Amino acid sequence: MKIPFWFHHSFLLRILWLILIVVIFSKALTPVYLLMNEYVLVDQQYSHGVALMLRAYWAVDLKNREKISKVSTLIQVNGADVPAGEQCWPYNEIYQRQMQAELGQNTEVRLRMHVLPVLWVKAPNLGNAWIEVPLYHKPLYRQKIWCVFGWFLAVWLFSIKSAWIFIRQFNQQLKRLVFAACQLGQGHSVRLPISDTSSEMTEVYSAFNQMAEKVKQAGCERELMLAGVFHDLRIPLTRLRLSLELIGNHADLTNAMVRDIEDMDTILSQFLAFIRDGHDEIIEEVNLTDLIHEVVTSYNQNGTQVYMRLEPIQSFALRRVSIKRLLNNLIHNALHHAGSGVEVAAYVSGTSNAPYVVLSVMDRGSGIDPVELEGIFNPFTRGDRAFGKKGTGLGLAIVRRIASMHGGNIELRNRETGGLEARVCLPLGLMLPRDAP
């Protein structure tokens, strides 16, 4: 939403502008209220007029009282004929207080608002009889007093609504920043708009965009550098392999050198796979059961090494190549460290509102020291059972990155029956970033 030209970009000045609007609004309501509720003031004057009229009534003789009664419609009544009156706050108090001030503290007042509005007054200082004073047909509207609370409520609601608008705008910008930071942490290219934000958030967004640009540039340079190293080293390695094949003699020596070259080639491939995390891979609907069959088949060509325990799973959105890499890394680690007898299981777990797929790769090796279970996912970290064996320590780091990229997670567990279980949980209805390709 584009900010109006008259609306300042600073949050501080926006708050001051809000306060100014609320004050002006409340001040404007004051004369409006007084104009619309003049009955409050008029009725105070009316009670004073009634008091003056009663003084005049009791001050004259009986003959003149009858004349005054005809002119002013005042009626002298017996106390037994005077009803108890009605309670009409605050007008009972207005009349009572005014009459007592005018006619004495022992003055009694009774008021009737419905049917024919009437005021009965007994002023012992003037006379012992009750005087019935008719009121005009549009008497004190008792609902008018609630207008005061209505105006107060309107001002309060207006203030709350205005503050809520500002806070909502500020929270939206903070949520946008949090979301962008999460995307940046997952390796996505992010840039925040600065054209429709406050001046304070514009500075924050600009700093974030600069940081994101530097992170992206550093990642591209790192990937380019390692890709160049990988390319430059693979050519001489291929040359060495061809040279060894041409030598012919010393088969044991050449075989050992070929294995070393293959190990070096594998290490370089893992480095490149770690740098290229697959975030630019196309997302597609994949049948995970078929994908597991495809991966496991390649390991069972010379005999069954990997067993499967799979339940039916509906197709859901995945990065196919990345999930294959995840499976290959886990199965390869299990076979490399624990030998044959590896088992792959897949099933759906969770609740109907938040289902997820559990993908487990289990072996029957010696397991891992519990102290190392958390740090084993860090790049270039290898567990104690890998000592003396070849590898880069990047396999599990790649697996965790792929799982996180799909909105899931991975954990390692030592099995009670012996061995290690690598459990990957992937949500159904992929929790991918909105701008994921």
Nearest to 405 by CA among 317, 287, 344: 317
Mean pLDDT computed over 383-394: 51
| pLDDT level of residue 382 (50, 70, 90 thresholds) | low
Tell me how far apart the alpha carbons of residues 425 and 406 are, in angstroms, rounded to a whole number: 10
Q: Are residues 111 and 248 in the same domain?
A: no
Nearest to 358 by CA among 369, 344, 366, 348: 348
Tell me how far apart the alpha carbons of residues 198 and 203 are, in angstroms, rounded to a whole number: 9
Q: Are residues 350 and 415 in the same domain?
A: yes
Q: Are residues 313 and 383 in the same domain?
A: yes
pLDDT at 242: 73
Tell me how far apart the alpha carbons of residues 186 and 302 are, in angstroms, rounded to a whole number: 39
Q: Are residues 345 and 216 in the same domain?
A: no
Residue 113 lies in a domain: yes
DSSP 4: P
Per DSSP bridges, beta strands 342-350 and 306-310 are parallel
| pLDDT level of residue 32 (50, 70, 90 thresholds) | low
> Contacts from 324-327 at CB under 8 Å and sequence distance 24+?
324/291, 324/294, 324/295, 325/273, 325/278, 325/398, 325/402, 326/398, 326/399, 326/402, 326/403, 326/424, 327/291, 327/292, 327/295, 327/359, 327/361
Residue 100 lies in a domain: yes
Q: Considering the chain, what is the average pLDDT of its residues?
A: 76
Mean pLDDT computed over 125-130: 83
Residue where a domain terminates, one of 140, 155, 181: 140
| pLDDT tens track for 149-204 | 677 777 777 777 777 777 777 778 888 888 888 878 776 778 888 777 777 788 88
Count how many domains the chain has. Answer: 3
Q: Are residues 135 and 238 in the same domain?
A: no
Q: Are 90 and 74 in contact (CB under 8 A)?
A: no
Q: Which residues in 195-304 belong to E strands, given as ranges?
A: 284-286
Residue where a domain terminates, one of 224, 250, 271: 271
Q: Are residues 353 and 232 in the same domain?
A: no
Q: What is the CATH number of the domain that holds 252?
A: 1.10.287
Q: Are residues 300 and 267 in the same domain?
A: no
| pLDDT level of residue 372 (50, 70, 90 thresholds) | confident
| pLDDT tens track for 240-261 | 777 667 666 666 666 666 666 7
* Residue 235 clears pLDDT 90, i.e. is over it: no
| pLDDT above 70 coverage of the chain, percent | 69
Residue 349 lies in a domain: yes
Residue 89 lies in a domain: yes
Q: Are residues 312 and 264 in the same domain?
A: no
Q: Are residues 343 and 395 in the same domain?
A: yes
Q: What is the CATH number of the domain that holds 293?
A: 3.30.565.10
Residue where a domain terminates, one of 271, 290, 319: 271
43-45-50 Cα angle (round to 5): 90
Q: Is 292 exposed, middle or buried (0-12, 13-18, 19+ CB in 10 A)?
A: buried
Residue 190 lies in a domain: no
Q: Are residues 220 and 338 in the same domain?
A: no
Mean pLDDT computed over 272-281: 64
Q: What is the CATH number of the domain that holds 45?
A: 3.30.450
Residue 399 lies in a domain: yes
| pLDDT level of residue 293 (50, 70, 90 thresholds) | very high
Q: Are residues 306 and 404 in the same domain?
A: yes
Range of the domain at 47: 38-140
Q: Which residues in 47-135 belong to E strands, given as ranges?
A: 75-77, 108-112, 118-122, 130-134
pTM, full prediction: 0.47
Contacts of 264 (CB under 8 A, 6+ apart): 233, 237
Residue 101 lies in a domain: yes
Choose between 344 and 93: higher pLDDT. Answer: 344
| pLDDT above 90 coverage of the chain, percent | 8
* Residue 90 clears pLDDT 70, i.e. is over it: no
Residue 23 lies in a domain: no
Tell me how far apart the alpha carbons of residues 160 and 182 are, in angstroms, rounded to a whole number: 32
pLDDT at 359: 94
| pLDDT level of residue 98 (50, 70, 90 thresholds) | confident
Contacts of 80 (CB under 8 A, 6+ apart): none
Q: Are residues 119 and 203 in the same domain?
A: no
